[in-house]
Structure 1
Amino acid sequence: MTTPAPIHQYTFLFCDLITDRILAELPVQQVEYSTELNGIGTFSGMIPLNDQTAPLAPMAATIPGRTMLYVDRDGVIVWGGIVWTRKPLTAAYGVYGMHIQAAELPSYWQHRYVNEILSTDPGVLVANGADGRYVPDGQRMYDDQAWILWSLLRYAGADITGAGDIHVDTNPLVNPTGVTRVRTYDASQRPAILDLIRQLSEVDGGFDWGVEVGYNADGSRYRRWQVYYPRRGRSASATGFMFQYGAGGNALTYEWPEDGTLLANRAIALGAGQGQDVVIGQAEAGDQFPAGWPLLETVTKYDQVVEWNTIQAHAQADLYAHRSAMTTPTFTVLADADPVLGSYTVGDSAIFAIDPDGYYPNGYAAELRIVSIKVSYSGGPETVALTCTGA
């Protein structure tokens, strides 16, 4: 006799983005939500518009750009983000629902920019007549890479309008990584703050980052920035996790795309400057040429970088990211198959295995790192798509 799948209780809380005041608890159907490592997970779903939902004022509770959505699964907040889009769903008989899309909290800083010079170097600030006090009172940033992130967020939150703070706790960032950086951000370029965070984290010796959401002991909700150094997550040996596609395995399907269009064995990083004065870094996978590989190059611009050591670290990181064909396999599993949803997180590694088949005649097994978790829920058993990279 087959054991029926557990029924999980989902609650969708729509709150004011700034005050976190609950606006409504609304039913949502056809739900998909994802969490990304060092990225922005998304949410999509359909809210019925009918006599049952009308008293809940769904239009007032889902205004794009100012509404926070929390996804509660069995009393645990598993996702949180900002509602950015909505649209009516219509049929011949009229409007029957509203489709919404949301993105995790870091998406807010895609919409915030550096509007005055910021630097870790007091000499640069003096030369530009800037306020040499530390952010948020002035324009000087602390130099540990976690503190640079803290400085960018505190700068954004201290906007003169008083509306630049969406109350995501930055206190966890006060713990240093021990890695210092020299950074100057030129206001004339108006760089997006999230772009600067990405660049800072992706340099050789960088860090993982994200925003965690959940319940406090008193039932209120928290939002916390986190830096994970040197990386987020646990090894496969620490977790014992294994996902297997094949007879008796816990994986339903797998996809294994390989993209050679982004392959590169020479990475060139361009920093600040014009013409012959551009700061340039370069890194090569010299072992590939004797092995028969053609020269393949990639060029990336980092307009805010003025230090050669920094731009060279970017080149090394870019080479590492591009030196093999872009392979991001995805395994789809049931949420309640062991290991169950909630026991793993992005950044964790696991053994992923494939029984012999037409694509892998000898089978496959390796430790891979989970970089994306996407959950699909339509009222029945949930499925989870785990996208991975090399561990």
Structure 2
Amino acid sequence: MRIIMGDLLTGRRILDVPFTAASWSVELNGPGTVSATVDLKDPTVRQLDMWNAAQVGKTFLAAVENDVILEAGPIWARKWERRDGKLTLEARGLWSYFDHRTLLPNIGDRPVTNPETGEAEEYANTTLKNLHLGTIGKRIVQQSMTWPGGNLPIVFEDDKPGEHERNYRGVDLSIIGSMLENLTQVIDGPDIAFVPQWAPDRLGIQWLYVSGDPRLSSVTEHVIDMSVPASPVDGLSIDESGSKLASLAWASGGRSGDEPLVERHFDTTLIDAGYPLLELVDSSRATVTEPATMRGHAAAAAVNGRLPLSVWAPTLHTGGRGEPRIGDYRVGDYLVFKSKGELFTPDGRHRRRIATMSGSAGNDFIDIGLGASYG
């Protein structure tokens, strides 16, 4: 594994980091992490001038395996231990940069509110119409790049057709990272990712903004047979919870006029199977104002509530026993586990989606978090 660092604003001036320990993680619809520890007693490391070369908020750190950039983003923290001469650098994926950017057009030094009336200025608002939700996210990011110092090396997918609309008030000073997350969480919202990759001349890196319809995943499913002696599955934990079981689901939190907006959906699947009545209340929909949309959230909760919430977390060997290499897996991809004669899981094929991955230097295993599914 390689750890590289360079200039965040340009993606250039790449240096290899001679680390003593390093780790990485990637996350679906959010920033992963890259961590590296270096020994400043090493003359080679001292020549890099880490005080200036690895500045917080200015320098990116990237983890590379099999020539694939797994994750890359700005260094947000560093810790120096004089006693042992070790410096630890902690970075997060590029999504984290947009947790430090507000959703405003480039208004220069003009005020967001009128100095005389105190009313919000319309020129500070962002209105996006008749677009795919992923393209709305794209427009938000592109708008942020018009500010001085905001033009990071990001390339964009083509626009996608859609009929969605978003109106953002500048006076709210919304954080772009949160707005992107909100787009992924609406009903049938798209996956959004900043995928790090080599620049065409390989003298720097860039990030590709991509969105799903609604899912981002490769065409190929990764099939893993747990029943064969050479199975790459070194460990597997399954956490199952009945916290979301429900026949009657309520959704509330938005407002229509001055009254709370509350909708429900009743599903008899569990009752027909002999379960007692179970209810679920989702009061997190503060921005929903349409009853039909709120009913959709209630219906989705009731349908999902037919089965317990199940989270699979396998540890996979990557040492060449026929399994895909690190770099062949991507968050959003699907793993299919073939089970036969297991102590707990029933025989058959179990399809789960990769939500997180993590690994470390010198380790032939990767830990995978498979997205919560029902059943």
TM-score by length of 1: 0.78
- Describe how 1:257-272 pairs up with structure 2 within 5 A: 257-265=239-247, 266-271=249-254
Partner of 2:167: 184
Q: State the one-letter code of the partner of 1:36.
A: E
* C-alpha distance in structure 1 between counterparts of 2:120 and 2:211, whole Å: 31
Q: Which of 348, 351, 354 in structure 1 is aligned with 2:333?
A: 348
* C-alpha distance in structure 2 between counterparts of 1:228 and 1:303, whole Å: 25
How far has the Cα of 1:229 moved from its partner? 1.1
Asked if the contact 1:184–1:305 (Cα under 8 Å) also holds between the matched residues in 2, the reply is: no
Partner of 1:106: 95
Residue 153 (str. 1) matches residue 141 (str. 2): yes
Residue 233 (str. 1) matches residue 217 (str. 2): yes
* C-alpha distance in structure 2 between counterparts of 1:321 and 1:186, whole Å: 34
Asked if the contact 2:7–2:58 (Cα under 8 Å) also holds between the matched residues in 1, the reply is: yes
How far has the Cα of 1:303 moved from its partner? 3.8
Asked if the contact 1:350–1:369 (Cα under 8 Å) also holds between the matched residues in 2, the reply is: yes
Q: Secondary structure at the match of 1:195?
A: helix
- Describe how 1:36-185 pairs up with structure 2 within 5 A: 36-52=27-43, 53-89=45-81, 94-114=83-103, 130-131=122-123, 139-144=126-131, 145-159=133-147, 162-169=148-155, 171-172=156-157, 174-176=158-160, 178-185=161-168
* C-alpha distance in structure 2 between counterparts of 1:298 and 1:188, whole Å: 31
Partner of 1:123: none
* C-alpha distance in structure 2 between counterparts of 1:321 and 1:26, whole Å: 46
Q: Secondary structure at the match of 2:53?
A: coil
Residue 327 (str. 1) matches residue 310 (str. 2): yes
* Closer, same or farther: CA 323–251 of 1 in aligned 2, 3 Å: same
* Closer, same or farther: CA 282–59 of 1 in aligned 2, 3 Å: farther
Asked if the contact 1:204–1:316 (Cα under 8 Å) also holds between the matched residues in 2, the reply is: no
Q: Which of 228, 252, 265 in structure 1 is aligned with 2:234?
A: 252
Partner of 1:337: 321
Q: Secondary structure at the match of 2:127?
A: coil
Q: State the one-letter code of the partner of 1:387.
A: G
Partner of 2:183: 200
Partner of 1:6: none
Q: Cα deviation per residue 1:154-178 (whole Å; 9 max; x = unaligned)? A: 232233xx13333322x31x321x4
Asked if the contact 1:262–1:322 (Cα under 8 Å) also holds between the matched residues in 2, the reply is: yes
Q: State the one-letter code of the partner of 1:72.
A: V
* Closer, same or farther: CA 315–158 of 1 in aligned 2, 3 Å: farther
Identical columns (%): 20
- Residue segments in structure 2 that go unaligned for 5+ positions in a row: 106-118
How far has the Cα of 1:280 moved from its partner? 4.3
Q: Cα deviation per residue 1:18-72 (whole Å; 9 max; x = unaligned)? A: 1223263212233221222222212223222213211111222222222111222
Q: Cα deviation per residue 1:122-151 (whole Å; 9 max; x = unaligned)? A: xxxxx97623xxxxx973213311221122
Residue 384 (str. 1) matches residue 366 (str. 2): yes
Q: Cα deviation per residue 1:356-378 (whole Å; 9 max; x = unaligned)? A: 35444x5564122222221222x
How far has the Cα of 1:286 moved from its partner? 4.0
* Closer, same or farther: CA 199–312 of 1 in aligned 2, 3 Å: farther
Residue 20 (str. 1) matches residue 20 (str. 2): no
* C-alpha distance in structure 2 between counterparts of 1:195 and 1:318, whole Å: 23
How far has the Cα of 1:316 moved from its partner? 4.5
Asked if the contact 2:223–2:336 (Cα under 8 Å) also holds between the matched residues in 1, the reply is: yes
- Residue segments in structure 1 that go unaligned for 5+ positions in a row: 1-9, 117-126, 132-136
Q: Cα deviation per residue 1:196-250 (whole Å; 9 max; x = unaligned)? A: 2222222222211101111233214221110121311146xx4362242663321
Partner of 2:114: none
* C-alpha distance in structure 1 between counterparts of 2:227 and 2:93, whole Å: 30
How far has the Cα of 1:106 moved from its partner? 0.8
* C-alpha distance in structure 1 between counterparts of 2:96 and 2:224, whole Å: 32
* Closer, same or farther: CA 182–306 of 1 in aligned 2, 3 Å: farther
Q: State the one-letter code of the partner of 1:230.
A: P
* Closer, same or farther: CA 251–288 of 1 in aligned 2, 3 Å: same
* C-alpha distance in structure 1 between counterparts of 2:246 and 2:89, whole Å: 38
TM-score by length of 2: 0.81
What is the RMSD computed on CA atoms of the aligned residues?
3.0
* Closer, same or farther: CA 179–284 of 1 in aligned 2, 3 Å: farther
Asked if the contact 2:33–2:71 (Cα under 8 Å) also holds between the matched residues in 1, the reply is: no
* C-alpha distance in structure 1 between counterparts of 2:153 and 2:303, whole Å: 36
Partner of 2:109: none
Asked if the contact 1:245–1:252 (Cα under 8 Å) also holds between the matched residues in 2, the reply is: no
